[in-house]
Structure 1
Amino acid sequence: MSADRSAAPSQDTSSSFLGPVDLTGLDGLFSAEEKQRALDVRAFVDEHIRPHIADWYERAIFPQEIIAGFGRLGVLGMHLDGYGCPGRSAVEYGLANQELEAGDSGLRTIVSVQGSLAMSAIHKHGSEDQKNEWLQKMASGEAVGCFGLTEPAAGSDPAAMTTTARQEPGGDWVLGGAKRWIGLATLADVAVIWAQTGEHGDGRGVRGFVVPTDTPGFSAEAISQKLSMRASVQCEIRLEDVRLPADAILPADSAVGLKGPFQCLNEARFGIIWGVMGAARDAFNAVLDYTADREQFGAPLASYQLTQAKLADMAVAINRGYLLAHQIGRVKDADAEAVTPAMISAGKLDNCRVAIEIAREAREMLGGNGITLEHSPLRHANNLESVRTYEGTDEVHQLTIGRTLTGIGAFTSRG
C-alpha cells in the first residue's frame, strides 16, 4: 500500500557528515577536526577505491599500490604515537575505519592488519631496536607487515596452537609450524609470529617473534577461491626451521602468554566496531537512492509503506551502532585501560550483526539488480561474513560477555 504523499516533509539531514541516515544528531558528537579527518578519508575512497572496487572484487585483485596510498593518507598505525606514527585519537581512527569500510571491508582489513595487529604488536611489546627498525617504514607503507596467530586447527582456541619456538644453546630461536588466514602475508616484509615456547624456551608459554619474511624457511601462499574479501589477500604461512637471533623475540612482559596477541586483537576489534558501520551506511545509502528512482506500479519504491518501514529500521540500527562505537571510542581516548574485553566484545558482536543484516536487507530491496556488482550491498554482505568471523566469532564474544556477567568462564566444553 502506498504512503500518503501529503505527509509532513522529512527532516533535513543533509548537513550531517554522515548523510541522511543521521536521525539522532550524530554529527554533533564529533569535533570539526574529527569530521574533517573522516571526510579526508572519504575523499580518498571516492577517488581511489569506489571507481575500481567492483572490478577488483570480481577479478579477485588486490591493488598493492593502495598500501602506499594509505601511508600517505596517514591511516597506517594511525592510533599509535611516536616512531613516525600519526598519533591520532581512537575516535579519529574509528571514523577513518568506517569510511574505508564504506568502500570495501577487504581494503579496510589491510589497515587493521598493518596497524592494529602487526604495528601494534611491535609498538606495545617490542624492543626499541624493533620499533626503530620497523614502525616508521610501516606507517609510511614502505614496509608491509602481517600477524601470525591463527592456525589451520586453532582458530577460536589460540591456546591450542602447535607452532613452536625452541631456543638453542647459542641463543638463536628456531620456529616451526603453520599459520592460516593471515592477511598480507605474501606481500609482507615482516611477520609477527606467535609460537609456543614451553620447555623449548624460557618456560613462559606463548611468545611473539619479529620475523623478516626473507628469512630462510619462511614461506607464504595466498588462499584462493574465496567468496568473501576478494579484493584483499589472506594467506597460509609455513615455518620450516626458521632461525632467528635471540633478539627477535618481543621482549616486554606484556607479550608473555596469550595476553600479548589478545591486546592486539582488541585494537583490531575496536576498528571493526566502527568499520562495519561504514559498510552498513553505504548499503543503506545505495538502497535509499535506488528506491527513490526505481518505479513499480506507477510510483517510486520509496513511496510504499513496506519500503519505508525497512529503511526506518535500518537507519535506527545504524544510529545505534554509531552511538555504541562512539561511546567505546570516547572511553578509549579518556583511558585506554578502562576499555574492557566485554566492552569490545559487545561492540563487535552487535555492530557486525547489525551491519550484515542491513546489507542483506538492502540486497533484497534491490531485487534482481542487487546480485550485480553495480550495487554494493551484496558485496558488503559477502565481506561481512568474514568480518563477523575473524577477530572472534559471535560465540567467542558472547562467551566473553557471559564471563563478565556471571564470573564463570564457559569457553571449554561442559561434560
Structure 2
Amino acid sequence: MNHIYKHAPISNGVKLFNEWIILLVLAVVLFLASCSGKAEPMALATAPILPVATVSTGEQETFVDYPAPLQGTTDVEIRPQVAGAIDRIYVNEGQLVSKGQLLFQISELPFRAQLNNAKASLQAVQAAVLNAQLEIDKLTPLVQSKVVSDFQLKTAKTTYQIALANVEQAKASVNSAQINLGYTQIKATSSGYIGRLPKKQGSLVSPSDPEALTQLSDVNQIYAYFSLSETDFINFNAKYSGNSVADRISHLPAVSLVLADQSLYPVKGKIDMINGQFDKTTGAITLRAVFANAKGVLRSGNTGKIRLGLSHDNTILVPQSATVEMQDKIFVFAVGKDNKVNKVAIAIDGKNGTDYLIKDGLKSGDQIVLSGLDKLQDGQLIQPEKKVEKVAQLISKK
C-alpha cells in the first residue's frame, strides 16, 4: 500500500501534463485556422484603392503644329518716284484705303513748270517744221525752173526731217513732264491698311530715301508660310497622294491656325502652294496656307502656327499621366482578373494633346491604372475604383 501511495501523485501529474499539451495543440490549430481565414480579407483591406479605366480602340486624329509667319496677299512699300516736299498727307496710320485712293501730295510747282517748258519747246519745234516746209515749197519750183541748184532743195528737205525729229523729241519731253507731274500724287496700288507714317507734311522726300513713306498691306486674305522637314514631307506625300502637285493640293483637307494666345482662328484655311524645292540651308520645304480675313482680325506681321491633322484608325488613347518612363521605355500598369497589376511596356505611335496613341502593348478591353503609379510595384494587389471604368471610352472619343 505504501508503494501505491508513493506513485499516485506522479500518475496524476502526467495526466494533467498530457491534458495541457492537448489543449495547447488545439489552441494553436484554432489560431492558425483563424489566421488563414483572415489573411485574404486583411490583404485586400490594405490594398490601395486606385482609379482604373478600360481601354478601347477607335478612330483618332493627331495634330502637329508648325510655326508660321503671316503676311498679307499684298505687302508693298509706298515710295516717291520724284523728289520734292510733301504738301499734304491724306491718310492716317492704320487706315483702310481703296485701290487708287490718294495718299500723299508732293509739291507740284516745279513739275508743272517743267511741263509748261516742255510744251513751249514742242510749239517751237512745231513752228520749225512749218518753216522748213515753207522753204521746201519755195525751192521746189525754183529747182524745176533751174533757177537754183538741186542741192539747196535737198538741204531744205533735210532741215524739214530734222524739225520733225525735234517735234517727236519735244513730245516725249512733254509726256515725261506730265508723268513726273502725275507722280506728285501718290496713290494706293491696292486696297489695304496703311502702316506707320514716318514722314510728315513738309518733309523732303526722294526715290533714293532708305525709308519708305509707308507700307500698304492687303489683308483681305492672309498667307501663312510654314516649313516641313524632309521626313515630314515624305509622310505628307504618303498620306495625301495625287497625280501632280496641283492634284494633291486640291485634295488636301482644311488646316487650322493657332494664334499667339493659343486660341484657334475661327476660319479654316487651305494649303494652296508647295514650294518647288527644298531650302539648302534648312533642309525644309515651304508650304503656304491662305485664310479669309474679311473682319481684318489678322494683320501682316502676325505670327501663328499651322495645325495639320492626321487620322489614325483602330488606335488606343492612353493619358500620359497613366504611364511611367523607365530606361527609355514607357510602361502602364495593367490590371488582371485577380486585381493584381502587371507592368506592361507600350509602343507610342504619336500624341494627341496630353494623350499617347498606343501602337503596341495594349488591346481593347484591357484595364489600366490611371493614377498613383509612383507607389505601385509589379504584381501588387489593388482595389479598382469602379466608377471610372468608362473614362477610357470618353478619352477615345476626344
Bin for the TM-score computed over the shorter chain: under 0.3
Using the size of structure 2 for normalisation, the TM-score is 0.15
What TM-score, normalized by structure 1, do the two folds share?
0.15
More helix by share: 1
Pair member with larger Rg:
2
Larger relative contact order, structure 1 or 2 (CA cutoff 8 Å, min sep 6): 2
